[in-house]
Amino acid sequence: MMRCRTRCVLLTAALLALGACSGPSGSGTRAVEREVSLGAVSVADGVLAREPWSFGDAPGEVIRTRHYRVYTTETNGILVDRLSSFTEYALAHYRSAIVTLPEPPQRLDTYLMDTRAQYEGITRRLLPDQADTILQIMRGGFASRGIGVYFDIGLYDTLAIAAHEGWHQYVQRTFANPLPVYLDEGLATYMEGHSWITGPRVSTPLFRPWGNIERFDQLRDAVISGRTVSLEVLTNNRPQELVETVGNGTLDYYAQVWALAHFLNSPQHRAGLGLLLQEAASGQMRSRLTDRYGRREALALLGRRVGSELLELYFLEDLDELDRQYQQFMVDLTAIGSRDAIAAGRSPFE
């Protein structure tokens, strides 16, 4: 949930902040990568090395894959093994689900801790200035400064959190311009849905953006109860700001931005979403904002990360009309019979 675009220097500083945590040691064990095609992006899901690591008195290991370095004290071997491949498949999904996006510039450091206490300890060592705020988040993890930190809340839920926060982690390290909060969170919820294909030797994650019953049920309840908000309200508020003003607050917010991500990825608007993401990654978004609003206002918009300006710039200048389409999309999405398609991971519009 916490975000920052600072790159390599802060990653190095965060690792040095581990202090008493012992670093990787020994030659470890190595395995050969397996290449799998996922759209325009290949997945290297093999473990390259496993080496001893520890946090305090808790023994663990660091697992290296092509794009990740996973530090873990987790005692559930199934979760550890699945996370190692899950992160690579999730990254390939981020880079290909909507439009082709670039590789991260370096390995993404990820921490999977066995207990909440260890999670709190590693958070305070990695991000001492942010820890008090971050640790108010009771769910299973966060991403900040391109580092993902999680603790075990069960197999599926831990990986769903890793899929959500992993999107933020990827964007923090890779995008030259920050996404607005509503879109960053919407795409993170879009990335959550997944299932597993289990074979005789390996289990492979299958990402299904529609397959998210939790977000769907919350959205349907909000639609039925009349709690949905306009794009003007949604884009000008962060989730924590809606707690006291809108129905079920943050849960409704995440359900609505999940729907917004699907709405913006619908055939009518997909080209605009793809262009926005590619230009945010390359840094051209800032130039586009500067051309429209001037340098000072463009920098302010990028810094605030709220507001409807990007919707008007990349999708439809008439925000009222775009909102009308979006409100109808949510009604149609939650119509009777849609839940069966969502449960199966399919679009209810097909």
Mean pLDDT by 10 residues, the chain (350 residues): 32 30 37 48 75 96 96 96 93 97 97 96 94 83 95 94 97 98 98 88 88 97 95 90 64 96 97 98 97 96 96 96 98 97 95
Same structural domain for residues 163 and 19?
yes
Same structural domain for residues 22 and 104?
yes
CA 206, 114, 140, 88 dihedral sign is negative
Same structural domain for residues 308 and 259?
yes
Confirm whether 327 is domain-assigned.
yes
Same structural domain for residues 159 and 219?
no
Same structural domain for residues 151 and 220?
no
Compute the distance between CA of residue 83 and CA of residue 116 in angstroms, rounded to an integer: 18
What is the number of domains present in the chain? Answer: 2
Compute the distance between CA of residue 223 and CA of residue 252 in angstroms, rounded to an integer: 10
Output the pTM of the full model: 0.86
Domain termination residue (choose one: 149, 174, 199) = 174
pLDDT attached to residue 3: 36
Confirm whether 30 is domain-assigned.
yes
Domain termination residue (choose one: 148, 174, 200) = 174
Cβ atoms of 276 and 251 closer than 8 Å: no
Cβ atoms of 160 and 187 closer than 8 Å: no
Q: Which structural domain, as residue segments, surrounds residue 31? A: 8-174
Question: What tokens were used for 5?
Answer: 């675009």
β-pair partners for 94: none
Same structural domain for residues 15 and 159?
yes
Domain termination residue (choose one: 123, 151, 174) = 174
Closest of 148, 33, 150 to residue 94, by C-alpha: 148
Same structural domain for residues 31 and 88?
yes
Same structural domain for residues 165 and 41?
yes
Same structural domain for residues 75 and 133?
yes
Same structural domain for residues 23 and 156?
yes
Same structural domain for residues 232 and 162?
no
How do strand 58-64 and strand 68-72 relate by DSSP bridges?
antiparallel
Confirm whether 43 is domain-assigned.
yes
pLDDT attached to residue 199: 76
Confirm whether 306 is domain-assigned.
yes
Same structural domain for residues 164 and 234?
no
